[in-house]
Amino acid sequence: MIPSLEDYDISPLWGFLPSQLPLTRLPQDYYAQWETIADNLPSLILTKRIRNVIDKLPLLTIDNLNNDEREYRRAYQVLGFLGHAYIWGTDMPIDKLPLQIAEPWIAVADKLGLPPVGTYASLCLWNYKQIIPSDDILDLDNLTCINTFTGAIDEHWFYLVSVYFEQKGALAIATGMEALKCAKEGDIPMLTKNLQQMAETIDLLGTALMRMEEMCDPHIFYFRIRPYLAGWKNMASVGLDNGVFYGNEKAPRGYAGGSNAQSSLIQFFDIILGVKHFATGDLKADSSFMDEMRQYMPRKHREFLTALEPYSTTIKQIVQAEEDKELTLAFDACLAMLKAFRDKHIQIVTRYVVLQAKKINKMGSNSTLRSGLARKKQNGEEKGTGGTSLLPFLKQCRDETGNAAAGSWGKRILTDGMLRLKYSKPNGINEDD
């Protein structure tokens, strides 16, 4: 049976965002010290007091939380901000989390089925609130972030763009599921209509992504914000050779940091349209980066993607069997828009990471924070906060998108690049770099 959105905490209006506004604070006085530190995180990082303050915390358990998903999410979120600030909040990272953070973070992460590390969910999906109280929770212009590391407008905007992106994607989820239903029932006219609408919605997501440039400066993102988003996997070049020790554990843990690859929305598109991805050269041969990132998604969302996977070829098979030109064009238009979206993502990454990394040698800084995590980097591919090589991974995902085209004409133009949008390349960056 085709999975139902409601069974997996997915809303036709909010998509993978929660249908209720996230908690801005844990209601129990017992956790007030966590919340006070989170409220003052930018100042504590600025004065380099964050580790000293956290070291003085008492060891709190999660036993005083009500058996409530929103409270678990808030505890996971606030501990994530404190944990990442502790590791990255001074000039040099530290490879050990104190028991006061490690123990409750592990416990609440286990409750949620997530790793104890900052994730896309804790940074974006559960990190927004209303500016002015209103009954209209769909008013995106009335939202701001609950927590940041820096307090900068740029950091608020960086997270909020993902909130906008996820909410705008809700229609594409509902339309894609309706298209799948039509394919199962053999309703070709409605399948065509839903695919056309889905293509238009994916196109809008590219516009939402490009809003990043409105209020988030690339230099500030790379050198002031990005270091706090990193995890402790593949971070030997900046001092975390083996990962991070949690409390009294004898072996270190290695986790990827928050990454847009942890968005369930993009993987939803790949599944519904039959796009297949394969491991890149720098990853394990038996596991792709996309599969790994699914483990950082909220439990019900990744269960939804797993339940949807048996239907990954359903729509494409109907499209190919019908040989209906309008239907084929609608399906290939979805892929064209998804590929165009990935082109825009590459453009953003180029401006916000790759070009900024080229400044490192000119700056001559030995501080991890001041160098945007590229302090010891001289040559080679820039790594993302998720731990993989950025441009090779993103370009491969983009190129693999075109391989799912149903029509011979669509396959030719998608794989040959005739539909690739021609964006102006920033100075110093070539498509083949």
In this structure, the strands spanning 128-130 and 96-97 are: unpaired
CB atoms within 10 A of CB 141: 6
Strand partners, 347: none
The token pair that represents 54 in the structure block: 């956290």
Strand partners, 97: 246
345 is in an annotated binding site: yes
* Euclidean distance between CA atoms 223 and 269, whole angstroms: 32
Is residue 378 classed as helix, strand or coil in its secondary structure?
Answer: coil
Among 145, 150, 142, 175, CA closest to 41: 150
| Angle made by CA atoms 28, 127, 307, in degrees to the nearest 5 | 105
Question: CA dist 248 to 96, 194, 314, 326, Å?
Answer: 9, 54, 49, 62
Name residues whose C-beta falls within 8 Å of residue 146's C-beta, 6 or more positions apart in sequence. 22, 24, 77, 127, 128, 129
Phi-psi region of 417 (alpha: psi -120 to 50; beta: other; left: phi over 0): left
Among 175, 168, 161, CA closest to 120: 161
The token pair that represents 340 in the structure block: 């165009």
* Euclidean distance between CA atoms 410 and 415, whole angstroms: 8
Give the CB-side neighbour count of residue 303, counting CA atoms within 13 A.
14
Strand partners, 129: 144
Give the CB-side neighbour count of residue 312, counting CA atoms within 13 A.
16
Among 2, 8, 1, 3, CA closest to 301: 8
- What is residue 225's DSSP assignment? I
Q: What is the DSSP string of 228-275?
A: HH--SSSBGGGTBSS-BEETT-SS-B------GGG-HHHHHHHHHTT-
Question: CA dist 242 to 91, 102, 239, 273, 340, Å?
Answer: 19, 17, 9, 38, 37
Name residues whose C-beta falls within 8 Å of residue 318's C-beta, 6 or more positions apart in sequence. 183, 186, 188, 191
For the annotated binding site, the residues are 345
For the annotated binding site for heme b, the residues are 345
